[in-house]
Amino acid sequence: MSAATTTRPGVREHGRRPRIAGGRVLTTTALSALALIVLAAILGDWAAPHDPALQNVELGPTGPSATHLLGTDDLGRDVLSRLLAGTRTALVAPVLIALGTTLLGTTLGLLAGYHRGWPDAVLMRLSDLLYALPGLLVLIVLVGVAGGGTTIAVLALIVLNAPSDIRIIRSLALGQRELAYVDAARTLGLPDRRIVFRHLLPNLAPTVTANLLLSFVSALVALTGLSFLGIGLPAGTPDWGLMIQENRTLLDLNPWAAVAPALLIMITAIAATLLGDSIFERLDAGKGVPE
Amino acid sequence: MSELLQVQGLTVTLGDRRIVDDVDLAVAAGETVGLVGESGSGKSLTARAIAGLLPPPLLAHGSVRLSGAELVGAREKALRQVRGRRVGLLMQDPFTQLNPLLTAGAHIAESLPRGAGRDRAEIARRLAEVGIDDPQVARRYPFQLSGGMRQRVAIAAALAGDPELLIADEPTTALDATVQHEIMRLLAGIQAARGMSVLLITHDLRVAFALCDRVQVMYAGRVLETGRGRAVAAAPGHPYTAGLIGALPAVERTATRLVSIPGSVPRAADVTDRCAFADRCPQRQDDCLTGRPPLREIAVAHRTACRYPVQPPEPPAVDEQPVAARPPKPSDRPLLLVEGLRKEYGKVTSLDGVDLSIAPGERVALVGESGSGKTTLARCLLGLVEASGGRILLDGTDTTRPRRLSAAQRRTVRTLVQCVFQDPSTSLNPAMTVGAILAEAAGQARPEDRLPVGELLELVGLPPAYSGLRPHRLSGGQKQRVAIARALAVRPALLICDEPTASLDVSVQAHVLELLRRVNNELGTALLFITHDLAMARQITDRTIVLLHGRVVEAGDTETVLDNPTHAYTRRLVASVPPAPTGKTAHA
Amino acid sequence: MNAALLIARRLVSAVVLLGVMSVLTYGLLSLSPDGPVQALLGNRPSTPETVAAIRAQYRLDEPFPVRYWHWLSDVLSGDFGSSVFAKQPVLTVIAERLPVTATLAGYAMVLTLLLGIPAGMAAGLRRGKLLDQGVTLVALVALSFPPFALGLLLLYGFAVELGWFPTYGGGDLWHYTLPAIALSLGQAAVLIRQTRAATLDVGAQDYVTFARARGLGRMRTWGSYSLRNAALPVLTVAGLLAAANLTGAVFVEQTFSLPGLGSLLVQAVNQKDIPLIQALVLLGGAVVIGVNLLVDLIYLVVDPRVRHGAPA
pLDDT for position A20: 57
Distances (CA, A) of B59 to A88, B8, B106, C41: 55, 15, 32, 77
**Is residue A290 over pLDDT 50?**
no
pTM for this model (two decimals): 0.84
Q: pLDDT digits over A23-45, tens only?
A: 788 888 989 999 998 988 888 77
**Is residue C140 over pLDDT 80?**
yes
* Choice among B397-411, C30-44, C155-169 with the minimum mean pLDDT: C30-44
In angstroms, the CA B26 to CA B33 distance is 8
Task: Report which secondary-structure segment, H or E, holds A4.
Answer: helix A3-6
Report CB contact under 8 Å: C236, A11. yes
pLDDT band at residue B328, thresholds of 50, 70 and 90? low
Report CB contact under 8 Å: C216, B84. yes
In angstroms, the CA B554 to CA B568 distance is 10
What single-letter amino acid sits at B44? Answer: S
pLDDT, mean over chain B = 88
**Is residue B320 over pLDDT 70?**
no
**Is residue A63 over pLDDT 80?**
no
Count of beta carbons in the 10 Å neighbourhood of residue B1: 9
Beta-carbon-side half-sphere exposure of residue A148 (alpha carbons within 13 Å): 15
Treating both helix axes as pointing N-terminal to C-terminal, what angle do B476-488 and B434-442 enclose, rounded to 10 degrees? 20
pLDDT, mean over chain C = 84
Is residue C146 within 8 Å of A225, Cβ to Cβ? yes
Q: pLDDT digits over C83-119, tens only?
A: 877 788 889 999 999 999 999 999 999 999 999 999 9
In angstroms, the CA B226 to CA B236 distance is 9
Q: Any idea of the CA torsion for A240, A243, A245, A248, to the nearest 10 degrees?
A: -120
In angstroms, the CA B505 to CA B503 distance is 7
Is residue B462 within 8 Å of B482, Cβ to Cβ? yes
pLDDT for position C170: 60
**Do the first three CATH levels of B3-86+163-233 and B323-429+490-575 match, i.e. the same topology?**
yes
Question: How close is the nearest chain A Cα to the Cα of B130, in Å?
Answer: 35
pLDDT for position A79: 82
| Residue-range domain boundaries for chain B | 3-86+163-233, 323-429+490-575
- Which residue, C279, C297, C254, is CA-closest to C94? C279
In angstroms, the CA A152 to CA B342 distance is 53
Q: Domain B3-86+163-233 belongs to what architecture?
A: 3-Layer(aba) Sandwich (3.40)
Task: Report which secondary-structure segment, H or E, holds B365.
Answer: strand B363-367
**Is residue A228 over pLDDT 70?**
yes
Minimal-distance CA residue of chain C relative to A10: C237
In angstroms, the CA B446 to CA B430 distance is 26
Distances (CA, A) of A143 to A285, C248, C284: 42, 17, 17
Q: pLDDT digits over B398-423, tens only?
A: 999 988 888 888 888 888 999 999 88
In B108-150, DSSP assigns E strands to: none
Range list of H helices, B443-505: 453-459, 476-488
Report CB contact under 8 Å: B486, A202. no
Q: pLDDT digits over A131-162, tens only?
A: 767 777 888 888 877 766 778 889 989 998 89
SS3 track for chain C: CCHHHHHHHHHHHHHHHHHHHHHHHHHHHHHCCCHHHHHHHCCCCCCHHHHHHHHHHCCCCCCHHHHHHHHHHHHHCCCCCECCCCCCEHHHHHHHHHHHHHHHHHHHHHHHHHHHHHHHHHHHHCCCCHHHHHHHHHHHHHCCCCHHHHHHHHHHHHHHHCCCCCCCCCCCHHHHHHHHHHHHHHHHHHHHHHHHHHHHHHHCCHHHHHHHHCCCCHHHHHHHHHHHHHHHHHHCCHHHHHHHHHHHHHHHHHHCCCCCHHHHHHHHHHHCCHHHHHHHHHHHHHHHHHHHHHHHHHHHHHCHHHHCCCCC
Q: What is the DSSP letter of B316?
A: P
pLDDT band at residue A291, thresholds of 50, 70 and 90? very low
Best A17, A83, A129 member to test C by mutation, with max C CBs in 10 Å, is A17
Residues from chain A contacting residue C240 (CB–CB below 8 Å):
6-7, 9-10
Report CB contact under 8 Å: A1, C292. no
Calculate mean pLDDT across residues B4-33: 93
* Choice among A228-232, A281-285, B386-390 with the minimum mean pLDDT: A281-285
| B210 compared with C171, residue with greater pLDDT | B210
In angstroms, the CA B459 to CA B438 distance is 12
CB contact C27 to A (< 8 Å): no
Evaluate the CA torsion angle C174, C178, C179, C183 in order and state its sign.
positive
What single-letter amino acid sits at C111? Answer: L
Is residue C22 within 8 Å of C76, Cβ to Cβ? no
Question: How close is the nearest chain B Cα to the Cα of C283, in Å?
Answer: 36
Among the partner residues C128, C216, C228, nearest to B101 by beta-carbon distance: C228
Calculate mean pLDDT across residues B486-515: 90
* Choice among B524-533, C8-17, C48-57 with the minimum mean pLDDT: C48-57
Give backbone dihedrals phi and psi of B434, rounded to 5 degrees, phi first. Answer: -55, -45
Q: pLDDT digits over A250-283, tens only?
A: 877 888 888 889 999 999 999 999 998 888 888 8
In angstroms, the CA B375 to CA B499 distance is 9
Calculate mean pLDDT across residues A215-239: 85
Report CB contact under 8 Å: B84, C215. yes
Pairing of strands B296-299, B302-304: antiparallel
Find residues 108-167 of chain C whose CB sits inside 8 Å of chain A: 127-130, 132-133, 136-137, 140-150, 152-153, 155-156, 160, 167
Report CB contact under 8 Å: A137, C246. yes
**Is residue C260 over pLDDT 50?**
yes
Q: pLDDT digits over C186-215, tens only?
A: 999 999 999 998 888 888 888 999 999 998
Distances (CA, A) of B179 to B186, B351, B366, B489, C210: 10, 22, 19, 38, 21
Is residue B160 within 8 Å of B111, Cβ to Cβ? yes
The domain made up of B323-429+490-575 has a fold known as: Rossmann fold (3.40.50)
Q: pLDDT digits over A78-111, tens only?
A: 888 888 888 888 899 999 999 999 999 999 999 9
pLDDT for position A7: 32
Q: pLDDT digits over B205-226, tens only?
A: 888 998 999 999 999 999 999 9
- A283 burial class (0-12, 13-18, 19+ CB within 10 angstroms)? middle
**Is residue A287 over pLDDT 60?**
no
DSSP string over B195-253: T-EEEEEES-HHHHHHH-SEEEEEETTEEEEEEEHHHHHHS-SSHHHHHHHHH---SSS
Pairing of strands B59-66, B3-14: antiparallel
pLDDT for position A288: 42
Residue B508 three-state SS: helix
Residues from chain A contacting residue B486 (CB–CB below 8 Å):
184, 188
